[in-house]
Structure 1
């Protein structure tokens, strides 16, 4: 793993939950220096545990035992204080506002072992390695559709996108949202939740419409987690 440089941020407090999640972000700023300045500014009241620059440099901003302020108002699998339950990694990228672009190989080469180390030490399951858009779908798009989630899935560090055995359960739009909530999302803004799911698991078409392929992907993900009992008649009310 790359050498980690410490650049302490004052923006943290005590955790109230055990660590069970890892949340990935992009910085969404014009360069790394601007992002670091903001993440260490007391007035900004934002931070993360780590930042990974485009050249692969890893910077530690907040100790893992402390609660960094990276997720904001967010939700995942019934957890409402995501900051307390998670470690946050900011990945330098200008984001959709300043010229979103692919994440360089050097950056991914540094990020992957960092993620592997964190999830191993804390016993974080792949389903809880998520993007900011997953935990705050109405507010956030990061790390976005260009992020290499397939690589993390291949390495067992995050959920893989199901590509085989897809079966459309023909859920109604409301039924799809119930299933998406069961999977972990906040569905209070339905179109935003569908869009966030597609950004993560079907990035080639992000339209916020729960079509047959989107439904089939979600079903396979739920089956993988819960077993074939999910195909029993309890689908009918949905």
Structure 2
């Protein structure tokens, strides 16, 4: 990873809790320049600790020991106030609002993902972040967010030690899909939204919010993986 550039944002304050999470986002804007400008605009009241360009270049906006404003209203493993508990990385990608001309979601370039892996590895080691607390924005805010999207290569990150990925779908049976998702960390107060968020990350080939047999088996396998970690 190349040297990290500095672009200080005024949008931060003091943490209320120790760092124990890493949250990955896509910028969801037409350009990285527009996203960077917004995160440095005091009127916008949003920021992240880092932004990773398509090229793999990284810019830091907020010191890690401060609270950036990226998670919003969110919940994971029964905890709220996740801005205070997390480091946030924005990854330049148009996402669902800025698709390619053929309607596909814009891919994440290999150099960009390599940089995300290197940066995440450093952050996870520095703060001793558990693998079960490396999440996407949609994981922690399933009724509001879709990022980093079903096109984000979570399996590749897991292969490099960033997050978990089930290698087998053999799993313990659980009383319900709710129980499996709760064991992972999802807020299931809106079950349909939680299932959709789960599919974006763990069953990205079809994101429809329906609890089919495949979704159920993957959810049980991931729940076992999380409970064993």
Q: TM-score range by the shorter chain?
A: over 0.9
How many corresponding residue pairs?
Answer: 223
Tell me the residue number matched to 2:102: none
Contact 1:2 1:57 in 2 (8 A): yes
Query: How far apart are residue 78 of structure 1 and its match?
Result: 1.3
Cα distance in 2 for residues equivalent to 1:105 and 1:165:
28
Tell me the residue number matched to 2:210: 209
Tell me the residue number matched to 1:81: 81
Tell me the residue number matched to 1:19: 19
Cα distance in 2 for residues equivalent to 1:131 and 1:224:
17
CA-atom RMSD in angstroms: 1.4
Query: Could you tell me which of 168, 189, 195 is aligned with 1:164?
Result: 168
TM-score (norm 1): 0.90
- The equivalences for 1:1-238 within 5 A come to 1-99=1-99, 100-160=105-165, 162-167=166-171, 169=173, 171=175, 175-227=176-228
Query: How far apart are residue 49 of structure 1 and its match?
Result: 0.1
Query: How far apart are residue 15 of structure 1 and its match?
Result: 0.4
Contact 2:138 2:197 in 1 (8 A): yes
Cα distance in 2 for residues equivalent to 1:52 and 1:189:
31
- CA deviations on 1:133-180 (whole Å, 9 max, x unpaired) are 0000000000001111011111121111x2424358374xxx211321
Contact 2:57 2:115 in 1 (8 A): yes
Contact 1:126 1:158 in 2 (8 A): yes
Contact 1:191 1:208 in 2 (8 A): yes
Q: Which runs of 5+ in 2 are unaligned?
A: 100-104
